[in-house]
Every structure is written in C-alpha cells, then in structure tokens.
C-alpha cells in the first residue's frame, strides 16, 4: 500500500461495559439512596469500581437476566401474552442492557405452577421434588415444545436478546430430572429450540450427559450455562466441589470444551460472592478457572462484591467475554473521488471469548457537512482470542470532495446500547477518530 498513513492507537486497560458480557446487572445497587448491605443483611461501606460508575459495590453492566414464566406467557392453550416479555426487554434496553432470556416451565412455589389450563387438564403432581408435572405420563413434552417453537418464532433475532437458555424440564428450567426422560422426549424439546432459533445464540444447561449428548448430536452452535461457580467445598468440604471436580471433569466429559467458540458460556454464583469471601476461598483461582472455561457473563445474583476483591474482579472483567484492540491502522490519506479507498487494520481480541452477534464494523468519513459510511464485509464473530486479526478492505469512494475525519466503530444499531467500546483511546460519540483524509 503506497502513500499510506500508519497509526498505532494507544491501548487502554480501563473497564469497558459492552453488551452481552460481564456481570449481570444489579438494579438494587444502582445509586441506592440509603445504606448498602451484604447478602446476609450486614451493612457495608459504599464504594465504586470507577469514578463514573452508576452501581455501588458492584461493577456497571450492559447485560441483564430476564426470566419469564410459561404460565404468564401462554395464558390459555395457544393464546400468548408476548407483550409481557417485550415489556421486560424494553426495560432492559432502556437501562442500556442486552438480556439473557429464560422461559421457565414452572418452579417450586404454588404461584410458579404450570399454566392454569394445563393444571386443569393434569391435576396430579409427581413426588419427584423438582417436577410440578410428570413429563413421562402427561402431554408436557408436546405442550412445552409447541410453546418454545412459538417463543422462537416471535423472538429469534430480537436485537436486545443476547442469548436464550434451553430450559427442558425441572424447577426454573434448571434440568432437575432430565436424566429420567426418554431420549425421544429430550430430542423433541431440544429440536424445538434448535430448529426455530436460527439467529439468537443458545446455551444448554450442563446438567447431565444424556441431554448434552443429544444436544451435541445436532452439531449446532450451542454454548452452556452452569449455576454454581465459586463452590470450593460448600457442599462436601474437601471431598467434592464444583470448582475442583464437577466443572473441570464434565466440561470435558460432555465434550463441551470448544462450545465457547460459537456460543456463550454463562456462569451463575453458588450462593453469593460475599459467602466465598467469608469462607476464605481463593478468588484468583475462581477467576482463572472461569477464564480458562471462556466465560462471557457472570450472574452475581445482584449482591455486593467484597471491596477487598475489587482489583481481582477488575482484572476478571477485563478478560471476561470479548475485548477488542485496534493495534495498527493503515490507510491512504488522499483519494480521488470515484477511486478506491483502501484500509487495513491489525486487531486483537484480548478477552477469552468471541462476540456472538454480527454487529457491523463501520468506517466513516465525516466533516461538518457530510458523513460517508461504509459497512465492512468482515464478520467480527470470527475474531477469536489469542490470534492476530488482519482486516483489509477496499471501498468505492463517492461523495463530495473535501477534507474528512476518518472514524471507525462497531454499531449495535440500538441507541440505548451505543456502539461497542474498544480498548483504545479516541472514543467520541461511539466512534474512534484516527486522522484526516482528503477526497480530491
């Protein structure tokens, strides 16, 4: 590339809040008027992760969890209230967040039962502790599969949804008793998700080898979710724990160690982080293991992060999910109108996971009178960690002659979310400015 201009952007190490990654939002800790308490009700001193944080004792977030109940959405057989979920997604968007969504079939409390129309048809409840209805001797599998197909038809590709949990059976859809189902029943429910969600990423509960094997048979891009991160022996002391036994063994046993390359890995805290702290568990070990498993987001259940762990958690956040650096930019600074504008960038993803939505990379030429935008053909979902990413492109240059500023941004298309923040200096109104270009 002759007559070119070369820029080496300045890399920054500050916290970046971006959609789809990081700690799940903690609304109760956002600008609280009164005192802050830990999960056991004890008052704690207020602190912030950054000077501009809206959230106290917890990092700011661009991702939230959105749980909805089957009984609320399918109020009568084949009669749906999708507006309930839409309202929750609008609330997430208004707070600047994308959402992980799970539709749960039921939970343990009476008010979390299966839909009333289904209960009228099936009045008996099984003795198995995590079921409200017996999927072996009722139409549960048929009804739930039909519901999921309708759910996908209305919400696949929804711009606010980061990913969807594949709930099959059990309280809160967390898989209790999946291992007792017939394989054909599991395949039908799995198919309801995979056959109908073609755009929105999915993650499966890493619960039992039977269901995960059936999910893998489909050879689709499915991530995983697990809900006891941090447990270093809270159930069985030194004999067994999630961190030392279940996760490192079963991520491999279930052959899900490469799932992160195409779909999210989502963790939820076992108890709360404050409990880990009081138990004296090693936060740095927990962080490093989760990063090794390519975590994208973490549900802290909306409770405090112990201040003594602030720096460890900041280091965690700077690796969790994706983190894009533009390390070198080369372009031709003088172009004749109607000619080709050439640009080349050397990128790096210094996080531990890719981005799972195909947000467009946009190049803009801007002055006081005109904005000329070019949308790149590159698919940023292929920008994996620990690799050099060379981006080269040519654009046919139209527009008025004059001097322009060269800007680059990754657009989400949602004003409340804004553009993706890069780990470099130069951000202005969602775009990064790199220099001048003259159109002759």
Give per-residue pLDDT as tens, 303-312: 999 999 999 9
Tell whether the model's pLDDT for residue 3 goes beyond 80. no
162: phi then psi, degrees, rounded to nearest 5: -75, -45
- DSSP secondary structure string, 203-232? EEE---HHHHHHHHHTT--EEEEEEEET-S
Confidence band (pLDDT; 50, 70, 90) for 432? very high
Residue 326's pLDDT is what? 98
Strands 431-439, 265-269: pairing is: unpaired
- Residue with the bigger pLDDT between 439 and 139: it is 139
Q: Rounded mean pLDDT of 171-188?
A: 94
Query: Please, what sign has the CA dihedral across residues 238, 243, 247, 249?
Result: negative
Contact 115, 79 (CB under 8 A): no
Percentages (nearest 5) of helix, strand, coil residues in the chain: 25, 25, 45
Residue 8: is it exposed, middle or buried by C-beta count within 10 angstroms (0-12/13-18/19+)?
exposed
Q: Give pTM, 2 decimals.
A: 0.95
Residue-wise pLDDT for 328-379, tens only, equals 999 999 998 888 999 999 999 999 999 999 999 999 999 988 899 999 999 9
- Residue with the bigger pLDDT between 16 and 402: it is 16
Residue 400's pLDDT is what? 79
Mean pLDDT, the chain, rounded, equals 95
Q: Rounded mean pLDDT of 226-245?
A: 93
Residue 127: is it exposed, middle or buried by C-beta count within 10 angstroms (0-12/13-18/19+)?
exposed
Sorted by sequence, the CB contacts under 8 Å of residue 241 that are 6+ apart come out as 231, 232, 233, 234, 235
What is the Cα–Cα distance from 371 to 369, expressed in whole angstroms?
7
Confidence band (pLDDT; 50, 70, 90) for 440? confident
Residue 191's pLDDT is what? 97
**Which domains are seen in the chain, by residue range?**
5-14+323-439 (2.70.50.60), 22-317 (3.20.20.80)
Residue 1's pLDDT is what? 44
C-alpha distance from residue 252 to each of 80, 177, 179, 257, 260 (Å) = 39, 22, 19, 6, 13
Residue 109's pLDDT is what? 92
Q: Rounded mean pLDDT of 221-244?
A: 93
Q: What are the structure tokens assigned to 440, written together? A: 């002759």
Query: Please, what sign has the CA dihedral across residues 224, 228, 230, 233?
Result: negative
b/e burial code for range 165-175 (CB count within 10 A of at least 16 → b): bbbbbbbbbbb
Q: Which of 34, 79, 77 is nearest to 56 (CA)?
A: 34
What is the Cα–Cα distance from 333 to 117, expressed in whole angstroms?
67
Q: Rounded mean pLDDT of 57-64?
A: 97
Confidence band (pLDDT; 50, 70, 90) for 315? very high
**Ramachandran assignment for 399, one of left (phi > 0), alpha (psi -120 to 50 degrees), beta (any other):** left
Residue-wise pLDDT for 190-209, tens only, equals 999 999 999 999 999 998 89
Residue-wise pLDDT for 322-339, tens only, equals 999 999 999 999 998 888
% of the chain residues with pLDDT over 70: 100
Residue 311: is it exposed, middle or buried by C-beta count within 10 angstroms (0-12/13-18/19+)?
exposed
Tell whether the model's pLDDT for residue 10 goes beyond 70. yes
Residue 401's pLDDT is what? 85
Residue 252's pLDDT is what? 94
DSSP-derived secondary structure letter, 178: G
Residue-wise pLDDT for 396-416, tens only, equals 887 778 899 999 999 999 999
Q: Rounded mean pLDDT of 151-169?
A: 98
C-alpha distance from residue 331 to each of 5, 346, 362, 436 (Å) = 5, 12, 15, 10
Q: Would you state the torsion angle of the CA atoms of residues 154, 160, 165, 168, taken in this order, to the nearest 10 degrees?
A: -20
Q: Which helix (H) or strand (E) holds 249?
A: helix 247-253
């Amino acid at each position: 590339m002759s007559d070119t201009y070369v820029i080496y952007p300045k890399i920054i190490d500050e916290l970046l809040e971006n959609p789809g990654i990081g700690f799940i939002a903690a609304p109760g800790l956002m600008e609280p008027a009164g005192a802050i308490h830990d999960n056991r009700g004890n008052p704690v001193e207020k602190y912030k992760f950054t000077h501009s944080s809206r959230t106290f004792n917890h990092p700011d977030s661009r991702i939230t969890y959105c749980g909805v109940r089957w009984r609320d959405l399918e109020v009568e057989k084949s009669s749906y209230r999708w507006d309930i979920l839409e309202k929750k997604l609008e609330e997430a968007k208004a707070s600047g967040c994308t959402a992980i969504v799970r539709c749960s079939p039921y939970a343990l409390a009476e008010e979390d039962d299966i839909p009333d129309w289904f209960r009228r048809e099936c009045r008996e409840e099984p003795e198995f502790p995590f079921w409200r209805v017996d999927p072996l001797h009722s139409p549960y599998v048929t009804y739930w599969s039909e519901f999921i197909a309708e759910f996908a038809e209305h919400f696949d590709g929804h711009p606010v949804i980061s990913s969807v949990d594949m709930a099959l059976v059990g309280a809160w859809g967390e898989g209790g008793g999946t291992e007792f189902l017939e394989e054909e029943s599991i395949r039908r429910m799995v198919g309801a998700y995979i056959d109908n969600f073609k755009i929105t990423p999915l993650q499966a509960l890493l619960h039992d080898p039977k269901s995960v094997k059936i999910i893998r048979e489909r050879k689709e891009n499915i991530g995983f979710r697990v809900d006891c991160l941090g447990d270093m022996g809270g159930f069985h002391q030194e004999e067994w724990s999630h961190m030392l036994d279940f996760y490192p063994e079963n991520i491999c046993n279930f052959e899900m160690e490469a799932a992160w390359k195409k779909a999210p890995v989502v963790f939820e805290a076992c108890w709360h982080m404050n409990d880990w702290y009081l138990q004296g568990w090693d936060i740095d070990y927990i962080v490093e293991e989760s990063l090794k498993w390519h975590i994208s987001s973490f549900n802290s259940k909306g409770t405090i992060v112990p201040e003594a762990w602030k720096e460890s958690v900041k280091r965690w956040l700077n690796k969790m999910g994706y983190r894009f650096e533009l390390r070198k930019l080369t372009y031709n600074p003088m172009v004749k109108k109607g000619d080709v504008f050439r640009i080349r960038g050397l990128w790096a993803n210094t996080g531990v996971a890719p981005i799972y939505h195909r947000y467009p990379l946009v190049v803009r030429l801007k002055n006081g009178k005109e904005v000329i935008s070019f949308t790149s053909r590159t698919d940023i979902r292929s920008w994996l960690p620990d690799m050099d990413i060379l981006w080269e492109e040519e654009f046919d240059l139209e527009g008025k002659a004059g001097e322009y500023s060269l800007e680059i941004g990754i657009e989400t298309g949602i004003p409340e979310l804004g553009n993706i923040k890069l780990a470099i200096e130069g951000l202005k109104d969602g775009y990064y400015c790199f220099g001048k270009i003259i159109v002759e």
